[in-house]
Amino acid sequence: MTSEAPLYIGLMSGTSLDGVDAVIASMQGPRLVAEHWLPYPDPLKQALLALHEPSDNELDRAARLANQLSEIYAEAVHQLLAKAGIEAKAIRAIGCHGQTVRHRPADGYTLQLVNAARLAELTGITVINDFRSRDIAAGGQGAPLVPAFHAAVFSVPQRARVIVNIGGIANLTCLLPNKAVTGFDCGPGNMLMDAWVQRHWYQAYDEAGMLASQGEILPALLERLLAHPFLRAAPPKSAGREEFNLSWLDSMLSGKEVPADVLRTLLEFTAETIARDIRRHCGDAQEVYLCGGGAHNRLLRGTLAKKLAGLHIGLSDELGVPADWVEAMAFAWLASSTLHGEPSNLPEVTGAAGRRILGAIYLA
Protein backbone atom coordinates (compact mmCIF):
# COMPACT_ATOMS: atom_id res chain seq x y z
CA MET A 1 0.00 0.00 0.00
CA THR A 2 1.34 3.46 -0.86
CA SER A 3 0.29 6.96 0.03
CA GLU A 4 1.46 10.34 -1.20
CA ALA A 5 1.07 11.81 2.29
CA PRO A 6 3.50 10.77 5.02
CA LEU A 7 2.34 7.98 7.31
CA TYR A 8 2.83 8.11 11.06
CA ILE A 9 2.09 5.67 13.86
CA GLY A 10 0.48 6.87 17.07
CA LEU A 11 0.71 4.81 20.27
CA MET A 12 -1.45 5.66 23.27
CA SER A 13 -1.70 3.86 26.60
CA GLY A 14 -3.70 5.88 29.09
CA THR A 15 -4.62 5.92 32.75
CA SER A 16 -7.08 3.06 32.25
CA LEU A 17 -4.06 0.72 31.91
CA ASP A 18 -5.96 -1.64 29.64
CA GLY A 19 -3.48 -1.80 26.77
CA VAL A 20 -2.02 -0.03 23.75
CA ASP A 21 -4.06 1.80 21.12
CA ALA A 22 -2.05 1.82 17.90
CA VAL A 23 -2.92 3.59 14.65
CA ILE A 24 -1.41 4.40 11.30
CA ALA A 25 -2.48 7.85 10.19
CA SER A 26 -1.96 9.77 7.00
CA MET A 27 -1.25 13.44 7.56
CA GLN A 28 -3.43 14.20 4.58
CA GLY A 29 -6.61 15.05 6.47
CA PRO A 30 -5.38 13.66 8.87
CA ARG A 31 -6.90 10.32 8.00
CA LEU A 32 -7.02 7.02 9.87
CA VAL A 33 -5.41 4.28 7.78
CA ALA A 34 -5.31 1.31 10.17
CA GLU A 35 -5.81 0.56 13.84
CA HIS A 36 -4.95 -2.17 16.35
CA TRP A 37 -5.31 -2.77 20.07
CA LEU A 38 -2.96 -4.90 22.16
CA PRO A 39 -3.99 -5.62 25.77
CA TYR A 40 -1.56 -5.43 28.66
CA PRO A 41 -0.75 -8.72 30.39
CA ASP A 42 -2.27 -8.60 33.87
CA PRO A 43 1.12 -8.83 35.68
CA LEU A 44 2.30 -5.74 33.78
CA LYS A 45 -0.86 -3.87 34.65
CA GLN A 46 -0.50 -4.72 38.32
CA ALA A 47 3.18 -3.75 38.34
CA LEU A 48 2.32 -0.37 36.79
CA LEU A 49 -0.46 0.23 39.30
CA ALA A 50 1.93 -0.56 42.16
CA LEU A 51 4.42 1.97 40.81
CA HIS A 52 1.90 4.78 41.19
CA GLU A 53 2.48 4.70 44.94
CA PRO A 54 5.85 5.56 46.56
CA SER A 55 7.66 2.31 47.43
CA ASP A 56 11.03 0.60 47.54
CA ASN A 57 13.39 0.20 44.59
CA GLU A 58 11.35 2.49 42.35
CA LEU A 59 14.16 3.43 39.95
CA ASP A 60 15.03 -0.14 39.05
CA ARG A 61 11.40 -1.20 38.78
CA ALA A 62 10.54 1.79 36.60
CA ALA A 63 13.47 1.14 34.25
CA ARG A 64 12.59 -2.52 33.88
CA LEU A 65 8.93 -1.68 33.25
CA ALA A 66 9.95 0.92 30.64
CA ASN A 67 11.87 -1.83 28.80
CA GLN A 68 8.92 -4.19 29.06
CA LEU A 69 6.53 -1.53 27.81
CA SER A 70 8.82 -0.82 24.87
CA GLU A 71 8.60 -4.48 23.88
CA ILE A 72 4.80 -4.38 24.14
CA TYR A 73 4.71 -1.19 22.05
CA ALA A 74 7.01 -2.75 19.46
CA GLU A 75 4.78 -5.82 19.24
CA ALA A 76 1.76 -3.54 18.77
CA VAL A 77 3.60 -1.80 15.92
CA HIS A 78 4.56 -5.07 14.22
CA GLN A 79 1.01 -6.43 14.48
CA LEU A 80 -0.43 -3.14 13.21
CA LEU A 81 1.87 -3.07 10.18
CA ALA A 82 1.12 -6.70 9.36
CA LYS A 83 -2.61 -6.08 9.68
CA ALA A 84 -2.39 -3.08 7.33
CA GLY A 85 0.00 -4.69 4.86
CA ILE A 86 2.41 -1.75 5.22
CA GLU A 87 6.20 -2.00 5.57
CA ALA A 88 8.03 -0.27 8.39
CA LYS A 89 10.04 1.81 5.89
CA ALA A 90 6.79 3.52 4.83
CA ILE A 91 6.35 5.01 8.31
CA ARG A 92 7.98 8.39 8.90
CA ALA A 93 7.88 8.19 12.72
CA ILE A 94 6.14 6.75 15.75
CA GLY A 95 4.58 9.14 18.26
CA CYS A 96 4.56 7.27 21.57
CA HIS A 97 2.87 8.75 24.62
CA GLY A 98 4.30 6.20 27.08
CA GLN A 99 2.63 5.08 30.29
CA THR A 100 2.08 7.77 32.90
CA VAL A 101 3.10 6.78 36.42
CA ARG A 102 3.52 10.29 37.84
CA HIS A 103 2.03 13.58 36.72
CA ARG A 104 3.04 16.45 39.00
CA PRO A 105 3.29 19.67 37.01
CA ALA A 106 3.19 21.71 40.23
CA ASP A 107 6.53 20.07 41.09
CA GLY A 108 7.84 20.62 37.57
CA TYR A 109 7.79 17.09 36.24
CA THR A 110 5.79 14.32 34.62
CA LEU A 111 6.84 10.74 33.94
CA GLN A 112 5.62 8.54 31.09
CA LEU A 113 7.44 5.21 31.01
CA VAL A 114 8.96 4.00 27.74
CA ASN A 115 12.48 3.30 26.58
CA ALA A 116 12.20 5.18 23.30
CA ALA A 117 15.70 4.21 22.17
CA ARG A 118 14.80 0.55 22.63
CA LEU A 119 11.53 1.04 20.74
CA ALA A 120 13.41 2.62 17.82
CA GLU A 121 15.79 -0.34 17.76
CA LEU A 122 13.00 -2.91 17.91
CA THR A 123 10.96 -1.32 15.11
CA GLY A 124 13.57 0.34 12.92
CA ILE A 125 11.38 3.46 12.93
CA THR A 126 12.12 6.93 14.30
CA VAL A 127 10.42 7.38 17.67
CA ILE A 128 9.21 10.60 19.28
CA ASN A 129 8.20 10.58 22.94
CA ASP A 130 8.21 12.76 26.08
CA PHE A 131 5.71 15.23 24.63
CA ARG A 132 4.71 16.76 27.97
CA SER A 133 8.00 17.82 29.57
CA ARG A 134 8.72 20.88 27.41
CA ASP A 135 5.31 22.36 28.12
CA ILE A 136 5.84 21.83 31.87
CA ALA A 137 9.29 23.41 31.62
CA ALA A 138 7.56 26.46 30.11
CA GLY A 139 5.27 26.69 33.13
CA GLY A 140 2.39 24.64 31.72
CA GLN A 141 0.47 21.62 32.93
CA GLY A 142 1.84 19.39 30.18
CA ALA A 143 -1.73 18.22 29.63
CA PRO A 144 -4.08 17.90 28.00
CA LEU A 145 -2.24 17.93 24.68
CA VAL A 146 -5.03 16.56 22.48
CA PRO A 147 -7.01 19.86 22.23
CA ALA A 148 -4.55 21.07 19.58
CA PHE A 149 -5.37 17.98 17.53
CA HIS A 150 -9.08 18.43 18.18
CA ALA A 151 -8.83 22.00 16.90
CA ALA A 152 -6.92 20.95 13.78
CA VAL A 153 -9.30 18.13 12.87
CA PHE A 154 -12.74 18.87 14.34
CA SER A 155 -13.06 22.66 14.32
CA VAL A 156 -15.38 24.33 11.80
CA PRO A 157 -16.08 28.08 11.65
CA GLN A 158 -19.87 27.88 11.82
CA ARG A 159 -20.37 25.38 14.67
CA ALA A 160 -19.74 25.65 18.42
CA ARG A 161 -18.45 22.24 19.42
CA VAL A 162 -17.12 20.49 22.48
CA ILE A 163 -14.96 17.38 22.19
CA VAL A 164 -15.00 15.25 25.34
CA ASN A 165 -12.47 12.47 25.76
CA ILE A 166 -13.60 10.01 28.45
CA GLY A 167 -10.60 7.87 29.26
CA GLY A 168 -9.30 7.17 32.74
CA ILE A 169 -9.44 10.95 33.18
CA ALA A 170 -12.01 13.02 31.29
CA ASN A 171 -10.92 16.10 29.39
CA LEU A 172 -12.79 18.49 27.16
CA THR A 173 -11.96 20.89 24.35
CA CYS A 174 -14.11 23.94 23.59
CA LEU A 175 -14.12 24.79 19.88
CA LEU A 176 -16.14 28.00 19.73
CA PRO A 177 -16.21 30.22 16.62
CA ASN A 178 -14.04 33.35 16.84
CA LYS A 179 -12.68 32.34 20.26
CA ALA A 180 -9.39 30.82 21.36
CA VAL A 181 -9.38 27.06 21.79
CA THR A 182 -9.64 26.07 25.45
CA GLY A 183 -9.42 22.66 27.10
CA PHE A 184 -8.59 20.99 30.37
CA ASP A 185 -9.02 17.87 32.47
CA CYS A 186 -12.41 18.03 34.16
CA GLY A 187 -12.20 15.05 36.52
CA PRO A 188 -12.30 11.27 36.59
CA GLY A 189 -13.62 9.62 33.46
CA ASN A 190 -13.61 5.84 33.77
CA MET A 191 -10.87 5.59 36.37
CA LEU A 192 -12.91 5.29 39.56
CA MET A 193 -15.67 3.26 37.92
CA ASP A 194 -13.20 0.77 36.46
CA ALA A 195 -11.34 0.38 39.76
CA TRP A 196 -14.61 -0.20 41.64
CA VAL A 197 -15.80 -2.78 39.09
CA GLN A 198 -12.49 -4.60 39.27
CA ARG A 199 -12.67 -4.74 43.05
CA HIS A 200 -16.26 -5.95 43.35
CA TRP A 201 -17.08 -7.78 40.09
CA TYR A 202 -13.58 -8.86 38.96
CA GLN A 203 -14.23 -7.36 35.52
CA ALA A 204 -12.11 -4.83 33.65
CA TYR A 205 -14.98 -2.35 33.25
CA ASP A 206 -18.75 -1.94 33.31
CA GLU A 207 -19.80 -2.71 29.74
CA ALA A 208 -22.41 -0.21 28.54
CA GLY A 209 -23.13 0.75 32.17
CA MET A 210 -25.13 -2.43 32.83
CA LEU A 211 -23.82 -2.90 36.37
CA ALA A 212 -24.31 0.75 37.29
CA SER A 213 -27.88 0.59 35.98
CA GLN A 214 -28.68 -1.87 38.79
CA GLY A 215 -27.81 0.70 41.48
CA GLU A 216 -29.22 3.94 42.80
CA ILE A 217 -27.52 7.30 43.22
CA LEU A 218 -26.38 8.03 46.78
CA PRO A 219 -26.92 11.82 47.10
CA ALA A 220 -24.76 12.31 50.18
CA LEU A 221 -21.85 10.43 48.61
CA LEU A 222 -22.23 12.37 45.37
CA GLU A 223 -22.09 15.64 47.29
CA ARG A 224 -18.87 14.56 49.03
CA LEU A 225 -17.28 13.52 45.74
CA LEU A 226 -18.19 16.82 44.10
CA ALA A 227 -16.45 18.71 46.90
CA HIS A 228 -13.01 17.60 45.64
CA PRO A 229 -10.78 20.73 45.43
CA PHE A 230 -9.65 19.90 41.89
CA LEU A 231 -13.19 20.41 40.63
CA ARG A 232 -13.31 23.95 41.99
CA ALA A 233 -9.94 24.96 40.53
CA ALA A 234 -9.97 27.16 37.44
CA PRO A 235 -8.32 25.97 34.20
CA PRO A 236 -5.66 25.36 33.10
CA LYS A 237 -5.56 22.15 35.09
CA SER A 238 -4.75 18.47 34.66
CA ALA A 239 -5.32 15.43 36.83
CA GLY A 240 -4.32 11.81 37.31
CA ARG A 241 -4.34 9.03 39.85
CA GLU A 242 -2.79 11.43 42.33
CA GLU A 243 -6.16 13.19 42.60
CA PHE A 244 -8.66 10.39 41.97
CA ASN A 245 -8.02 6.89 43.27
CA LEU A 246 -9.60 4.13 45.35
CA SER A 247 -7.95 5.31 48.56
CA TRP A 248 -9.63 8.70 48.15
CA LEU A 249 -12.94 7.04 47.33
CA ASP A 250 -12.69 4.73 50.34
CA SER A 251 -12.27 7.75 52.59
CA MET A 252 -15.74 8.87 51.46
CA LEU A 253 -17.44 5.57 52.26
CA SER A 254 -18.83 4.00 55.44
CA GLY A 255 -18.21 0.50 54.12
CA LYS A 256 -21.90 -0.40 54.32
CA GLU A 257 -22.85 0.85 50.86
CA VAL A 258 -24.21 -1.53 48.22
CA PRO A 259 -21.51 -1.80 45.51
CA ALA A 260 -23.97 -1.17 42.66
CA ASP A 261 -25.15 2.03 44.37
CA VAL A 262 -21.58 3.29 44.67
CA LEU A 263 -20.95 2.48 41.00
CA ARG A 264 -24.09 4.31 39.90
CA THR A 265 -23.01 7.29 42.00
CA LEU A 266 -19.55 7.25 40.43
CA LEU A 267 -21.12 7.31 36.97
CA GLU A 268 -23.26 10.27 38.03
CA PHE A 269 -20.12 11.94 39.40
CA THR A 270 -18.31 11.59 36.08
CA ALA A 271 -21.30 12.86 34.11
CA GLU A 272 -21.88 15.80 36.44
CA THR A 273 -18.26 16.98 36.35
CA ILE A 274 -18.28 16.90 32.54
CA ALA A 275 -21.66 18.61 32.22
CA ARG A 276 -20.84 21.32 34.76
CA ASP A 277 -17.65 22.27 32.99
CA ILE A 278 -19.31 22.35 29.58
CA ARG A 279 -21.97 24.72 30.94
CA ARG A 280 -19.40 26.80 32.81
CA HIS A 281 -16.67 27.09 30.17
CA CYS A 282 -18.30 26.25 26.82
CA GLY A 283 -21.60 28.04 27.29
CA ASP A 284 -22.24 28.68 23.59
CA ALA A 285 -21.82 25.03 22.63
CA GLN A 286 -24.29 23.50 20.19
CA GLU A 287 -22.74 20.05 19.78
CA VAL A 288 -20.88 17.65 22.06
CA TYR A 289 -18.87 14.77 20.60
CA LEU A 290 -17.53 11.99 22.80
CA CYS A 291 -14.45 9.84 22.33
CA GLY A 292 -12.42 7.42 24.45
CA GLY A 293 -13.58 4.21 26.09
CA GLY A 294 -16.28 5.92 28.14
CA ALA A 295 -18.04 7.00 24.94
CA HIS A 296 -19.36 3.43 24.66
CA ASN A 297 -21.03 3.50 28.09
CA ARG A 298 -24.67 3.92 27.09
CA LEU A 299 -25.82 4.82 30.59
CA LEU A 300 -23.14 7.50 30.84
CA ARG A 301 -24.09 8.90 27.42
CA GLY A 302 -27.75 8.97 28.38
CA THR A 303 -26.98 10.67 31.68
CA LEU A 304 -24.93 13.33 29.91
CA ALA A 305 -27.71 13.87 27.37
CA LYS A 306 -30.18 14.59 30.18
CA LYS A 307 -27.80 17.00 31.87
CA LEU A 308 -27.08 18.77 28.57
CA ALA A 309 -30.62 18.83 27.19
CA GLY A 310 -30.87 20.80 23.97
CA LEU A 311 -27.35 19.98 22.79
CA HIS A 312 -26.55 17.38 20.17
CA ILE A 313 -24.64 14.54 21.86
CA GLY A 314 -22.80 12.20 19.51
CA LEU A 315 -19.60 10.24 18.99
CA SER A 316 -16.52 11.55 17.21
CA ASP A 317 -17.29 8.91 14.55
CA GLU A 318 -19.75 11.47 13.15
CA LEU A 319 -16.79 13.78 12.51
CA GLY A 320 -14.73 11.12 10.72
CA VAL A 321 -12.54 9.74 13.52
CA PRO A 322 -13.79 6.69 15.45
CA ALA A 323 -14.12 7.31 19.19
CA ASP A 324 -11.62 4.60 20.15
CA TRP A 325 -8.75 6.00 18.10
CA VAL A 326 -8.80 9.78 18.59
CA GLU A 327 -6.01 9.93 21.19
CA ALA A 328 -3.69 7.56 19.31
CA MET A 329 -4.23 9.63 16.16
CA ALA A 330 -3.42 12.74 18.17
CA PHE A 331 0.03 11.39 19.01
CA ALA A 332 0.68 10.50 15.37
CA TRP A 333 -0.20 14.12 14.58
CA LEU A 334 1.99 15.42 17.41
CA ALA A 335 4.91 13.36 16.06
CA SER A 336 4.44 14.94 12.65
CA SER A 337 4.42 18.40 14.22
CA THR A 338 7.67 17.64 16.06
CA LEU A 339 9.51 16.48 12.94
CA HIS A 340 8.32 19.55 11.05
CA GLY A 341 9.50 21.88 13.82
CA GLU A 342 5.97 23.08 14.50
CA PRO A 343 4.79 24.06 18.01
CA SER A 344 1.93 21.81 19.10
CA ASN A 345 0.96 22.93 22.59
CA LEU A 346 -1.74 25.51 23.22
CA PRO A 347 -0.80 27.96 26.02
CA GLU A 348 -4.49 28.79 26.51
CA VAL A 349 -5.01 25.12 27.39
CA THR A 350 -1.91 24.19 29.38
CA GLY A 351 -0.90 27.55 30.84
CA ALA A 352 2.59 27.44 29.31
CA ALA A 353 4.46 30.70 28.70
CA GLY A 354 4.14 30.24 24.94
CA ARG A 355 4.05 27.87 21.99
CA ARG A 356 6.66 25.13 22.13
CA ILE A 357 7.89 22.30 19.92
CA LEU A 358 7.15 19.15 21.91
CA GLY A 359 8.85 15.77 22.09
CA ALA A 360 12.24 14.10 22.07
CA ILE A 361 13.39 12.47 18.82
CA TYR A 362 15.16 9.10 18.54
CA LEU A 363 16.16 8.72 14.92
CA ALA A 364 16.05 5.23 13.45
Average pLDDT in the 46-56 region? 91
> pLDDT: is 305 or 53 the higher one?
305
Average pLDDT in the 84-112 region? 96
Mean pLDDT of the chain: 96
pLDDT digits (tens, 9 = 90+) for 217-233: 999 999 999 999 999 99
Q: Which amino acid is at 180?
A: A
- The pLDDT value given to residue 29: 87
The continuous run of DSSP H or E covering 186 comes out as strand 182-188
- The pLDDT value given to residue 272: 98
Is the per-residue pLDDT at 19 higher than 70? Answer: yes
Fold designation for 146-319: Nucleotidyltransferase; domain 5 (3.30.420)
Q: How far apart are CA 320 and CA 155, in angstroms?
A: 12
Average pLDDT in the 115-124 region? 98
- The pLDDT value given to residue 3: 46
- In the structure, what pLDDT confidence band is assigned to residue 305 with cuts at 50, 70 and 90? very high
φ/ψ bin of 175: left (φ > 0), alpha (ψ from -120 to 50), beta (otherwise) = beta
- In the structure, what pLDDT confidence band is assigned to residue 2 with cuts at 50, 70 and 90? very low
- The pLDDT value given to residue 14: 87
Rg (CA), the chain: 20
**Domain extent listing, the chain:** 7-142+325-362, 146-319
> pLDDT: is 4 or 212 the higher one?
212
Q: How far apart are CA 149 and CA 74, in angstroms?
A: 24
- The pLDDT value given to residue 1: 42
- In the structure, what pLDDT confidence band is assigned to residue 55 with cuts at 50, 70 and 90? confident
Q: How far apart are CA 37 and CA 290, in angstroms?
A: 19
Strand order in the sheet with 7-12: 31-39, 19-26, 7-12, 91-96, 127-129, 360-362
pLDDT digits (tens, 9 = 90+) for 28-46: 989 999 999 999 999 999 9
pLDDT digits (tens, 9 = 90+) for 320-363: 999 999 999 999 999 999 999 999 999 999 999 999 999 999 99
Domains 7-142+325-362 and 146-319 share a fold: yes
Would you give the distance in Å from CA 356 to the centre of its chain?
21
- The pLDDT value given to residue 202: 95
- The pLDDT value given to residue 258: 98
CATH of domain 7-142+325-362: 3.30.420.40
> Which residues 6+ apart lie within 8 Å of 260 measured at CB?
211, 212, 214, 215, 216
> pLDDT: is 18 or 161 the higher one?
161
